[in-house]
Amino acid sequence: MSNLIPPHGGKGLTCCLLEGEALAAEKKKADGLKKVPISPRVKGDLIMIGIGGFSPLTGFMTKADWKGVCDNFLLADGTFWPVPVCLDASKEDAEAIKEGDEIALYDPEGDEIMATMKVTEKYEMTEADKKYECEKVFMGEGIPTPDEFWKVAEEDHPGVQMVMSQKEVNLAGPVKVLSEGEYPTKYAGIYMRPEESRKIFDEQGWREVAALQLRNPMHRSHEYLCKIAVEVCDGVYIHSLVGNLKPGDIPAETRIKCIDALVKNYFVGENVVQGGYPLDMRYAGPREGLLHATFRQNYGCSRMIIGRDHAGVGDFYGMFEAQTIFDKIPKPEEPGKALLCTPLKIDWTFYCYKCDGMASLRTCPHTKEDRVILSGTMLRKGLSEGTPIPDHFGRDEVLDILREYYASLTEKVEIKTHKAATGD
């Protein structure tokens, strides 16, 4: 009997990934179906639906689901869900598909049919609909008015760019997932299904598990957050995004090496599990923080570490907006439909010379001049430009790995700084 938090939605892990004879039969059928190409973001969402990471979702959202999620954080059936999970298709493809048809979802980059889908609904996504989604999902306290938001969003926000570049029609319906793509082989030992992480946590005898979301290499602040979590929970799950990032971010292979070095040298190993998941970043700040907590519940985590500017980009969000949003979301009364994974809210952390150690705004009485401000953006900028990295910013073992990576690059992307990265 597991002592872990139950999966989100009250239905257990809803896994749509086929195996064995069912997989072979569906692959054969898929060869004769109309192929609809999918984007890398949809591919990641599809895999998460397949492995149960997006439980209770079993397919892509209807218009009622999309509208409910945008407006109220709720699916049409009243289950909490924070961001749209939709399948976009071109107008030409959609016109050739009738409701009730089965289609094959094709990954052009991997040249692979990823899933089949029964189309139960198709609905137009106009320019106004896309803008509506962007304002609901991506607009935060940092740039709180639509006029100011749209002056910069289409140029500077990768999540907005992703939505605005979507095709003209959304297709809804349940899926049968045929593949996990390259992830099981490319990230063997790191990429995990929820059933695998849950098994590990159960074997460790854990009940309370905290998740650390990572898209940057682990610096001292991440290390400190993890150690706080280990003190108050049974263990911590360092869970790295291994899907696509924006230009200038550091690839998963390098980040995993950094985590390995930190865990080996600076953690009690039996209190830490490292894993990876296949999504692309949406950079949706507070809404994405909620998404991270939702699917971490499926992985067996009861707490989600939420620090400064979680899942943010530029100056679009308030510094701690991803914490306060947890206090504002609906709490459905029907069993299983509410988000059960709660935030572990931690203030801005840094190294303080006068404190002679890691501290936060809640524990350190000193000034900005006494602190080493730690952020993934500033770390990437310093390494990319070859400028000295301040003492106590990162562990030497990690910095050596990162310097080797940057030395191997033939082209470098300019890293823009913002208030959350610089401490202004």
Catalytic residues: 215-216
Residue whose structure tokens are 């209807």: 62
Report the C-alpha gap between 263 and 350 in whole angstroms. Answer: 20
Name the phi and psi angles at 185, rounded to 5.
-90, -45
**What single-letter DSSP state applies at residue 369?**
G
- Which three-class secondary structure state does DSSP give residue 208? coil
Residue whose structure tokens are 């939505």: 163
Do 346 and 307 contact (CB within 8 A), yes or no?
yes
Report the C-alpha gap between 86 and 171 in whole angstroms. Answer: 7
Do 278 and 181 contact (CB within 8 A), yes or no?
yes
Report the C-alpha gap between 289 and 296 in whole angstroms. Answer: 10
Residue whose structure tokens are 């990437």: 380
Report the C-alpha gap between 93 and 96 in whole angstroms. Answer: 5
Tally of CB atoms within 10 A around 226: 25
- Which structure tokens are listed for 424? 């202004």
Beta bridge partners of 236: 210, 272
Report the C-alpha gap between 96 and 4 in whole angstroms. Answer: 46
* 144 contacts: CB under 8 Å, gap ≥ 6: none
Side-chain half-sphere exposure of 170, counting CA atoms within 13 A? 25
Alpha carbon of 226 to those of 274, 283, 340, 403: distances in Å? 12, 22, 20, 24
Residue 311 CB-density burial (10 A; 0-12 exposed, 13-18 middle, 19+ buried): buried
* 39 contacts: CB under 8 Å, gap ≥ 6: 88, 166
